[in-house]
Amino acid sequence: MEYQVQAIPARTLAGFHMVGPWEHTVKQGFEQLSLWVNSQKYPAQEWIAVYFDNPQTTPPEKLRCDTMVTVPQGFTLPPNSEGVICTRLDGGLFAVARARVVNHDFTTPWLDFFALLEADTQYQLRECPCFEIYLSDGADGVWDIDMYIGVEEVRVSAV
């Protein structure tokens, strides 16, 4: 797996905030999001899952994620948008890697990506949500995704 570090702009998002085990809530959130997008006949540009917690330290029932689509800045939720939230995803410096997900195994690419970043001597992880942008809809059981992890340059202190 290869990655690049890029300055990513902030995004305005609309969708659903979910709490619970990601293997259930992400799927449920995207099902709800798809129904909402289709009912609004909204031409979604990007489909995004935003992850707020570390699954190695947070109990599964407390894991938070947002299942979202990008919307224009200043977007107002239309009628019949019960449960939909509008939020901002901050930009900044992110390591970005592309992965192919098969057999619903989203975990392995993320673990591989984190392992690569933890070995990087130029960048370190920064506190911010991680997210993935879906490049395909998974209808054939395969998803292509871009994964984003916030990073900052390692500061070398003078001796």
**pLDDT at residue number 150:** 98
Check pLDDT > 90 for residue 118: yes
In a domain, 159, yes or no: no
- Counting the structural domains of the chain, the total is 1
Helix and strand totals (H; E) in the chain: 2, 9
Q: What is the mean pLDDT of the chain?
A: 94
Q: Decide if 26 contacts 52 (C-beta within 8 A).
A: no
Q: What is the pTM of this model?
A: 0.93
Per-residue pLDDT at 23:
92
Write the pLDDT tens digit of every residue in 55-77: 999 999 999 999 999 999 899 99
How many residues make up the chain in this entry?
Answer: 159
More confident residue, 125 or 156: 125
Residue 22 inside a domain? The answer is yes
Domain with 134 in it: what CATH number? 3.20.80.10
Range of the domain at 130: 3-153
For the cut 80, the answer to whether the pLDDT of residue 158 exceeds it is no
- Within 8 A by CB and 6+ apart from 84, the residues are 14, 15, 16, 36, 77
Q: Which residues of 100-118 are buried (b: 16+ CB within 10 A; e: fewer)?
A: ebeeeebeebbeebbeebe
Q: How confident is the model at residue 43 (pLDDT cuts 50, 70, 90)?
A: confident
- Could you give the percent of the chain with pLDDT greater than 70? 98
The answer to the question of residue 133 being in a domain is yes
pLDDT level of residue 112 (50, 70, 90 thresholds)? very high
Look at residue 158 and tell me if it is in a domain.
Answer: no
In a domain, 48, yes or no: yes
pLDDT, residue 41, reads 79
Rounded (5°) CA angle 148-150-154: 135
Evaluate if residue 44 carries a pLDDT over 90: no
Q: What is the DSSP string of 129-143?
A: -EEEEESS--TTSEE
Q: What's the pLDDT score for residue 137?
A: 87
Partners of 134 in the beta sheet?
Answer: 47, 145
CA–CA separation, 115 vs 3, rounded Å?
12
Alpha carbons 53 and 60: distance in angstroms, whole number:
10
Segment 32-50 shows an average pLDDT of: 91
